[in-house]
Amino acid sequence: MYSNTRTQSGGALLIAMILLFMISIMGISVMQSSTLEHRMATNAIESKAVFQSAESVTDFALNNDSNITAAFDKGVGNPHKVTLNMDGSSRISSNASLEYVGGSIVPGSSIGLFEGLRFEVRGKGLRENIAGAGVAQGAVREVPAN
């Protein structure tokens, strides 16, 4: 029997330890990267949900006759507040400020028969101080002239 214990110096062990260390560093890096990507995806979903909430409340304010009437009755410079609860579990609050900003001539209509009532609405969506978005829209409602 031949024994060569004197010629072995542990090189394989050293290389195995270096490879194990490199693989561990790569694993940690992948975990951090996936955590960051998860956060980015969550933030994108949150911001889109809040933006959609702000858009919904502005659309609701402009497309609901009672809101338009209330804003018109309050007059110029006195906005009408509109709140819309999208879903009780989503924790997203949506509110809008609908304001009558004055009358105007409606382009293309017969002179003197119709007038335009101009409205401006600013909607805000907020999710528990995590994400927020705002939307502003304008609209003209054509009504018979007085």
> What percent of the chain clears pLDDT 90, i.e. is strictly above it?
23
- Give the lowest-confidence range in 5-9, 69-73, 81-85, 126-130: 5-9
Beta-ladder partners of 139? 119
Tokens of 134: 């705002």
Q: In this predicted model, what pLDDT tens digit does every residue of 98-136 receive, in sequence order?
A: 999 988 777 766 666 788 888 999 998 888 777 888 999
pLDDT averaged over every residue in the chain: 84
First to last CA, the chain: 118
- Give the lowest-confidence range in 4-13, 26-35, 95-104: 4-13
Answering whether pTM is above 0.85, one says: no
> Side chain identity at 119, as an amino acid letter?
F
